[in-house]
Amino acid sequence: MPPETPEAGGRGRRDGDAELGNVLSLATPFFGVVFIGFFCGKLLKYPEDGLRWMNFFIVYVALPSMFFKLISEAPIEQLTNWRYVLITVACSFTMFVICFGVGLFATGNKADSTIAAVAGAYGNVGYMGPGIALAALGQGGVVPAALITVTDTVLFFTLVPFLMAVTGGRRESFGRTAAYVVRRIVTHPFNVATALGIFAASIGFKPHASLDATLVFLKNAAAPCALFTLGVTVALRPLQRVPTELPALMAVKLFLHPAVVWVAMSWGGDFGREWTLTAVLLASLPPALNVFVLAGQYRVYVERASSAVLLGTILSVASVTGLLWLITEGGMPYDLFP
């Protein structure tokens, strides 16, 4: 018996090292590319205007290609899981309301509070979501990740213009605001690509080999380009100070949001391991770069929005990596109420 003890201990250490290596192999490409972009942005200090074409490529070409490719290949019945969509949207909206209250308490300004609420509720689902779900949960995480990305985009691009109109951030009539919101939703490239993907899945469309190869090529470029651009963008906006409300917003975004989604998914029914944990994983992602874009568009909360994106991304290295470890090593039951 005694001779076997060191060997068993050695196996335990080797297994632990293998588990840690598996988690790092999932997390490092995502956060590593962000920090490569951050380092390049700090080192070279090129003007931010140089990112315009890169952002255009990401938002209008690469990510839509990825959404179309992934959704068009999914079974059509998976794309109409409305109960799943309603639960994830309800959770995101709840976080928005909580963070709006936090922002209002800290700033006393409704327009600032609107952007603060986006920072605490809108994760980086577009840039990081589908890729990290695919890496952690396999092909089964692709469709739910795409659905969450689209529905969150619709939710926040609906809420913000209306709230800005009400609070004075955008002084236009209700009709003009409604038309603006509808136009943004209908023409958003993520939503267009998703609609086309659903249509393609419904009719069984299979693209020609040359078109399919192009879509695959663009799909593979989406995540690296998006994450590198995120890193550069954050580097060009250094953290001046930590706003008083930011710790609370980050606690909601990185910890409360995934916890609420986990409970809600378990309570709402058995969606399966991949779908449930995809929702939890995407809820844990740091604030989206769109938070800063919206702040700049309405010229409110700009510096604080930049701080939220930077600090949230840094903190998420630990929080998201920890969640990936729980997911990949089986330490997290997908259903709390079996």
pTM, 2 dp: 0.81
Tell me, yes or no, whether 13 lies in a domain.
no
Q: Among 312, 296, 313, which Cα is nearest to 160's?
A: 296
The whole-number pLDDT of residue 2 equals 46
Q: Report yes or no on 148 lying in a domain.
A: yes
Residue 77 in domain: yes
Establish if 15 belongs to a structural domain.
no
Using the structure block, give the residue that is written with the tokens 């588990």: 19
Beta strand ranges found along the chain (DSSP E): none
Tens-digit pLDDT profile for residues 152-178:
888 988 888 888 877 754 556 667 777
Measured between alpha carbons, how far is 138 from 135 in angstroms, rounded to an integer? 6
- For the chain, report the end-to-end CA distance as a whole number of angstroms: 40
Query: Is 268 within the bounds of a domain?
Result: yes
Q: DSSP H helical segments within 45-141, as ranges? A: 52-57, 63-72, 82-107, 110-121, 129-137
Residue 332 CB burial class (10 angstroms; 0-12, 13-18, ≥19)? middle
Tokens 């038309």 label which residue?
179
pLDDT digit of tens for each residue in the chain (338 aa)?
Answer: 444 444 445 555 555 555 566 777 778 888 899 899 999 998 987 887 888 888 889 888 998 898 888 788 878 888 888 999 999 999 999 999 999 999 999 999 999 999 999 999 999 888 788 888 888 888 888 889 988 988 888 898 888 888 887 775 455 666 777 787 788 778 888 788 888 988 998 899 999 999 999 999 998 888 888 889 888 887 887 776 788 999 999 999 999 999 999 999 999 988 999 999 999 999 999 998 888 878 887 888 988 888 898 899 899 999 999 999 998 877 789 999 88
Domain that holds residue 311: 27-328
**210-222 confidence digits (pLDDT tens):** 999 999 999 888 8
C-alpha span between 42 and 238 (Å, rounded): 9
What's the sign of the alpha-carbon dihedral 252, 258, 259, 265?
positive
Question: Contact, 113 vs 107, CB < 8 A?
Answer: yes
Task: State how far the alpha carbon of 165 is from the alpha carbons of 101, 176, 338, in Å.
Answer: 18, 10, 45
Could you tell me if residue 6 is inside a domain? no
- The total of structural domains in the chain comes to 1
Instruction: Assign residue 280 a region (left: φ > 0; alpha: ψ between -120 and 50; beta: otherwise).
Output: alpha
In contact, 225 and 62? CB cutoff 8 Å: yes
The domain that holds 92 is classified in CATH as 1.20.1530.20
| 2: in domain | no
> Would you say residue 333 lies in a domain?
no
pLDDT at position 112: 93
Closest CA to 128 of 14, 197, 229, 261: 229
